[in-house]
Amino acid sequence: MQVDMIWTIVGFILTLMVFSYIFGDNFLFRLATYLFIGVSAGFVALTLATQVFIPKLFDPLMTGMLDQRIIALVPLVLGLLLLTKLIPRLARVGNISMAYLIGVSAAVMIGGLVMGSLLPQVIATVNLFDLKSGAANTNPVLQLVDATFILVGTITTLMFFYFGARVRPNLPPQRSRLIEVLAQIGQVFIGITLGALFSGVYSAALAALIERVYSIWNFIKPLLG
């Protein structure tokens, strides 16, 4: 109980320090921010050490088989080469590691976008037109309207990010009129999506604020009674 009380008091003090930003930027708010960044950085460093470096690098090098040690040498060498970026004279050597990181990151990102976003979006949009897959009490007309609305939103949103333009002599590049119309419609769908995302973020922030105020009240209420 004493430990819980100590952490309750710490949380109460940190909450008040964060709320002090209402009166403007001040030392207490900056101190709470620095503590949050420091704790987060320490947690990330500890997680990397216990979940990545020790089991994935040091353990295979120390106790692994020969093939495991050879494989573990690859990230070790690349990591050491990456440290040479800190030395101006040897910075070019670190480009090998940077090229590897950029190539792998691009491959993972493209694969994730295609397999995790583009294809599922296309499949989900096509499946909406399958009237047999809907619920038994679903109106087929409403399902088709809903599917058409989503299809139009998907296509026009993609058209908004289409940057191909016709090049004319002595004139700036300009997209076709059809693409421009579709892009404007897609811009409306993007605005609706961003509005929904903003409302979700605002609701989450408001819920966090209510939870903090409620915790402060629970802390003060016994003292007042």
Q: What is the pLDDT of residue 212?
A: 82
Per-residue pLDDT of the chain (225 residues; tens, 9 = 90+): 577 778 878 888 888 888 888 888 899 999 999 999 999 999 999 999 999 888 888 888 888 888 888 888 888 898 888 888 888 888 888 899 999 999 999 999 999 888 888 888 888 878 877 767 655 566 778 878 888 888 888 889 888 887 777 777 777 777 788 888 888 999 999 999 999 999 999 999 899 888 888 887 887 887 776
Residues 120 and 114: their CA atoms lie apart, in Å, by: 8
Helical axes 2-19 vs 177-224, angle rounded to 10°: 130
Other CB atoms within a 10 A radius of the CB of residue 1 amount to 5
- In terms of pTM, does the model score above 0.75? no
**Is 183 in contact with 175 (CB distance < 8 Å)?**
yes
**Is 166 in contact with 173 (CB distance < 8 Å)?**
yes
Residues 179 and 173: their CA atoms lie apart, in Å, by: 13
Q: Is the dihedral of CA 138, 140, 142, 143 positive or negative?
A: positive
Residues 208 and 71: their CA atoms lie apart, in Å, by: 45
Distance of CA 55 to the CA centre of its chain: 26
| Secondary structure of 156-213 as H, E, C letters | HHHHHCCCCCEEECCEEEECCHHHHHHHHHHHHHHHHHHHHHHHHHHHHHHHHHHHHH
Residue 53 is classified by DSSP as I
Q: What is the pLDDT of residue 225?
A: 64
**171-174 and 166-168: which strand pairing?**
antiparallel
- In the chain, the DSSP E strands lie at 166-168, 171-174
Q: How many residues does the chain have?
A: 225
Nearest CA among 13, 41, 38, 40 for reference residue 28: 13
Q: What is the pLDDT of residue 170?
A: 73
Q: What is the pLDDT of residue 1?
A: 54
Nearest CA among 102, 83, 79 for reference residue 91: 83
**Quick check: helix, strand or coil at residue 26?**
coil
Q: What does the domain layout of the chain look like in residue ranges? A: 128-225
Q: What is the pLDDT of residue 31?
A: 93
